[in-house]
Amino acid sequence: MLKEPPQRITSLTRWLSRPVVDSRGSEVGTLKDLVVLLWGLHPRVSKLCIARRGEEDLYLAWEAVAEIAETPTGPTVILDRPREELTPGDLRGDEMALRRNILDKKVMDTHGRRVVRVNDVQLEWRDEGYDMVALLAGMHSLLGRLVPERPLQWIASRFGIEIPREVVPWEHVEPIETELTKARKRAVYTKLAQLHPADIADIMEELNPSERAAILNGLEAETAVEALTETEPEVQAGVIQMLEPEKASDMLEMMEPDEAADILGDLPHAKAQELLEEMDPAEAEDVAELLEHEEDTAGGLMTTMYVAFHPETRVSEALEKLRALADEVETIYYLYVTDSSDRLAGVLSLRELMLARSEEQLHEIMIMQVITVGPKAPIRKVAETLSKYNLVALPVVDEDRRLEGIVTVDDVLDDLIPMIWKRRAAKKYI
C-alpha cells in the first residue's frame, strides 16, 4: 500500500511508458494506462495497465503499488510483491482507462461552454489515493508533451511569453461520443443538460454532425429540441439527417411548425418527404403547407400556431380557451377573429380582451381594420409593416382573406439581423 508519493499533483503523461518494477527490482513492463473508477465527483485511480514484452497487457489493482520513485527522467512504479505473485485483474463496467478513453480525445467543457482536446490528465493525491481532478488543454500542456519542460520555461522566460495553461476541472467535463462509436451504454449528459439550450447550441456547433446527433440522443427530448432550434440552420439540417427518422420526426413534431418547415426546407426533397410521412399527420400537414412557400416570404416565415376564435365567442369563453391553448401557440397577445370559412374578420389584443366585460361577444370589441400581408410578401415588406404599425405579429391572408398563419416579430428579427450585420457563418468544407 502506497503511503505518500513524491508528487501530490502530477499528470498522466509523466507516467505513461515509464518502467514498472516488482519488489525485487526486476522490470515487469512499462506503464501503458491508468484506470479510474467512475464513482463520485473525482474518479479515483483504481488499476494500472502494464504493457509487457511478448505478453498480454496486465491490469493490476492500484493497491499493489508500494512506492513511486522519482528519477531524473520521471517516476518509476515499484510494486509490493515479486512478479510471480501478481494477480491480473479485469476492467469493470464502471471503470475507464484514461489514456484510451480520455487522453487526446475531444471533451465538452460545460463551464467554458466549448469543446477542448485533452492534452493531459491532472491527478491529485488525496486520502491515500490519486484522484482525477482535471483535464489539461491549451498550449502549455500541448508543448509539455512535445518538448522538455526546462528549455521551454527558459525560452518562455527569455522572451517574456506567457504560455497559456487551460485547466478544466473534471466536474465540468462531459466526454463526447459519436453515434457510431458509442459504447454499449447510452451517454447521459447530466452536466450538459443543466446549461441553457442556447449554450448547449454553442457547444454543439463546435462538434461534427455525428457527435451532435449523439448529444441530442442523450438529452431529454425537450432540452434537445430547444437546443437544436438555437443552432444555425445548416447545423439543424445536418443533425436531423443524422438522427434515426423516428427520433427526427419526434423532434420536428415538438417544434413550431415554421421552425420544422425551415429545417425540412433545407433537406433534400426525398429526406424531407420521408420525415413528413413519419410525423403525426396533423402536424405534418401544417408543416407541409408551410413548405409550399418560398423561404423568405411571409408564407415561409409564418407559423400556423395562432389563436383564432369565432366572432360570436364570448369574452369569458375566449379567456378560458386561451388558457388551454396558450402553451401551444406562438403568441397570445393577438387574438384573431375568423368566420366559419376561416376568413379574417378582425383582431383584438390580449389587453382588450381582459378589459372587456365577460359577456360581450368578440365581434363587438374587435378591430375590423386588420393590417395583413399576402403569403408572397417578401421578408423586407413584412418587417417594414411590423415596424410601421408597431405590431408583435402580422396575419398572413390569401386572396380570399382567409387566415393562413401569422408572422411574429422574432421570426423576422432572426432573419433580418443576419442580413444586416451578422455574417452567415461560412462552412468549413464546401
Q: Which span (73-81, 186-194, 267-275, 400-408) binds other proteins, by CB under 8 A? A: 267-275
Instruction: Rule CB under 8 A: say whether 321 interacts with other proteins.
Output: no
| Residue 241 found at the interface with other proteins (CB under 8 A) | yes
Query: Which residue has cell 487522453?
Result: 103
Q: Cβ of residue 137: shortest distance to other proteins, in angstroms?
A: 6
Contacts of 370 (CB under 8 A, 6+ apart): 336, 344, 346, 347, 395
- Closest to other proteins by CB, 120 vs 226, is 120
CA–CA separation, 133 vs 121, rounded Å?
8
DSSP-derived pairing of the beta strands 120-126 and 9-11: antiparallel
Q: Report the distance separating Cα 51 and Cα 21, nearest Å.
A: 12
Q: Is 428 in the site for other proteins (CB under 8 A)?
A: yes
Half-sphere exposure of 277 (CA within 13 A, CB side): 6
Q: Counting contacts by CB under 8 A, is residue 218 touching other proteins?
A: no
Q: Is 68 in the site for other proteins (CB under 8 A)?
A: no
287, amino acid identity: V
In this complex, which beta carbon is closest to other proteins, that of residue 8 or of residue 117?
117
Single residue of 68, 98, 118, 318 touching other proteins by CB under 8 A? 118
Which single residue is written with the C-alpha cell 444555425? Answer: 232
User: How many Cα atoms occupy the beta-carbon half-sphere of 420 within 13 Å?
Assistant: 9
Nearer to other proteins, 88 or 268 (CB): 268
Neighbouring-strand partners of residue 406 = 303, 395
Q: Please name the residue that has the C-alpha cell 512535445.
A: 146
Site for other proteins contains 266 (CB under 8 A):
yes
Q: Is 268 in the site for other proteins (CB under 8 A)?
A: yes
Q: Which of 155, 161, 180, 354 binds other proteins (CB under 8 A)?
A: 180
CA distance 179 to 243: 9
84-92, 101-109, 150-158, 403-411 -> range binding other proteins (CB under 8 A): 101-109
Stretch that binds other proteins, among 74-82, 114-122, 183-191, 331-339 (CB under 8 A): 114-122
**Which of 242, 335, 377, 396 lies at the binding interface for other proteins (CB under 8 A)?**
242
Interface pick for other proteins out of 2, 58, 239, 391 (rule CB under 8 A): 239
Q: Does 7 bind other proteins (CB under 8 A)?
A: no
Any contact of residue 91 with other proteins (CB under 8 A)? no
In the complex, minimum distance from the CB of residue 429 to other proteins, in angstroms, rounded to a whole number: 4
Q: Point out which residues pair with 106 in neighbouring strands.
A: 117
Task: Pick the binder of other proteins from 45, 123, 137, 195 (CB under 8 A).
Answer: 137
Query: Shortest approach of other proteins to residue 254 CB, angstroms?
Result: 21
Q: Which of 92, 111, 196, 424 binds other proteins (CB under 8 A)?
A: 424
Residue with C-alpha cell 510483491? 81
343 binds other proteins (CB under 8 A): no
d(CA 126, CA 236): 45
29 vs 227: CA distance, rounded Å = 48
Residue 358 vs residues 155, 287, 379: alpha-carbon distances, Å: 80, 35, 38
Alpha-carbon dihedral sign for residues 296, 299, 305, 307: positive
d(CA 337, CA 307): 9
By CB under 8 A, name the binding residues for other proteins: 104-106, 116-119, 137, 142, 145-146, 178-181, 208-213, 234, 237-239, 241-242, 265-270, 272, 291, 293-296, 300, 415, 423-430
